Amino acid sequence: MDVVDITGLDRHYGVTRVLSSLDLEVSSGERIAITGPNGSGKTTLLRVIAGLLRPTKGTVRVLGGEVSDASVRRRVGVATHTPALYPRLTAFENIRFWSAIYGDETGPDRGRDLLRTLDLDPDDTRPVSAYSQGMRQRTSMARALCTDPELVIADEPFAALDPSGAEKIAELLNRARTAIVVTHDRGHFDATRRLVMHAGALQPA
């Protein structure tokens, strides 16, 4: 079974077609790196796979089901380009809250370990609004991984990070069961396949 199976995907914003007859199959164990110019549709594609946007046309299957199905979305970890964190909560409170939404009782313990791996203190009492952009980026990755997802989706996960932080996040992504990552950084993520977004479709890099 493919982890991701997309056929004939179109996505419009008003009259502007961003994705055009896009096909993509991702097998279990693959690490896909997607590059392309700004505005080419990379983030839109990730948001469709994550179930955050609906296709205008075409079929999108993730882990054998519909991305609108909560049981499917619980098996997917998403780290967006802009960290989706609750600013008034601490890093660990964000982890604990996210784990509760997913119904994962082991998520908080896993999240503590992830925060430490990413050089963040899980007992830090500061809200994440007091963190630097790089610290929020690392917290976002810990949040995305704390539920041990079968598929990890990450949009520019190395942005705003120093070399050490980028390397630590790359190590985690390289250990993911299956990952789709939008990135222009060829020095960290160990992709098994590289694709380029062009004119709303994907082609080999």
Q: What is the pLDDT of residue 119?
A: 96
Residues 54/120, Cβ–Cβ less than 8 Å? no
What percent of the chain stands above pLDDT 90? 88
pLDDT at 196 over 90: yes
The answer to whether residue 58 scores a pLDDT higher than 90 is: yes
Q: How far, in Å, are 12, 24, 70, 84 from residue 41 at the CA level?
A: 10, 14, 25, 20
Q: What is the pLDDT of residue 186?
A: 77
* Residue 82 to residue 157: CA distance in whole angstroms: 9
- At position 93, the amino acid (one-letter code) is E
Predicted confidence at residue 83, as pLDDT, reads: 80
C-alpha–C-alpha distance, residues 78 and 117, integer Å: 18
- Rounded to the nearest integer, the mean pLDDT of the chain is 94
Q: What is the mean pLDDT of residues 4-13?
A: 96
* Model confidence band, residue 63 (pLDDT cutoffs 50, 70, 90): very high
From 87, 138, 85, select the one nearest 115 (Cα to Cα).
Answer: 138
Closest CA to 55 of 21, 92, 29: 21
- Sheet strands (E) in 15-126: 16-27, 31-35, 57-62, 76-79
Note the pLDDT of residue 199: 87
At residue 175, the pLDDT reads 96
Which residues sit opposite 158 in a β-bridge?
A: none
pLDDT confidence of 68, banded at 50, 70, 90? confident
Confidence of residue 82 (pLDDT cuts 50, 70, 90): confident
Taking residues 127-150, report their average pLDDT: 96
Distances (CA, A) of 195 to 54, 145, 202: 22, 23, 6
pLDDT in tens, 141-180: 999 999 999 999 999 999 889 999 999 999 999 999 999 9
% of the chain surpassing 70 pLDDT: 100
Q: What is the mean pLDDT of residues 11-38?
A: 95
Question: What is the band of 92 on the pLDDT scale with cuts at 50, 70, 90?
Answer: very high
Q: How far apart are CA 168 and CA 146, in angstroms?
A: 15
Q: pTM of the prediction? A: 0.94
